[in-house]
């Protein structure tokens, strides 16, 4: 086989791998967003996440892996939309962020976050 054909097949294989890997990572992001919302008694809106960022990062063992950040929307009252995010390193969730606007701290005191 000529070099061009081999290179083309390798590139197509890499693109297929990336696409499948991204689908698996997105599913992990949806599962984690759903679990985080359920734990905080929040409603995950649209039941999905949207890609926000992709970069290379090192894991604890020093290996390069793809780090993906996904955004999602949730509601605490059902009448509003708040932004959250989930970050994965490979397929491992490393951070979930829910932005609470108001947190009750003691009797009658409120703390703004």
The DSSP letter of residue 77 is S
Q: What's the pLDDT tens digit per position in 19-63?
A: 999 999 999 999 999 999 999 899 999 999 999 999 999 998 999
35: number of Cβ within 10 Å: 14
pTM of structure:
0.78
The whole-chain average pLDDT of the chain stands at: 86
Extract the tokens encoding 6.
Answer: 């081999």
Write down how long the chain is: 113
Q: Across 20-63, where does the E strand assignment appear?
A: 43-58
Is residue 110 scored above 60 in pLDDT? Answer: no
pLDDT at 58: 94
pLDDT at 89: 93
Q: Which residues pair with 92 in a beta bridge?
A: 89
> How would residue 78 be classed by pLDDT, with cut points 50, 70 and 90?
confident
Distance (Å, whole) CA 10 – CA 31:
32
């Amino acid at each position: 086989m000529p070099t061009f054909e081999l290179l083309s097949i390798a590139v197509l294989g890499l693109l297929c791998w990336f696409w499948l890997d991204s689908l698996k990572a997105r599913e992990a992001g949806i599962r984690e967003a759903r679990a985080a919302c359920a734990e905080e008694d929040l409603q995950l809106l649209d039941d999905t996440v949207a890609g926000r960022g992709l970069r290379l990062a090192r894991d604890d063992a020093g290996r390069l892996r793809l780090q993906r950040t996904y955004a999602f929307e949730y509601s605490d009252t059902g009448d509003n939309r708040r932004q959250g995010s989930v970050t994965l390193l490979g397929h491992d969730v490393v951070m979930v962020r829910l932005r609470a606007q108001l947190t009750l701290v003691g009797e009658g005191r409120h703390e703004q976050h």
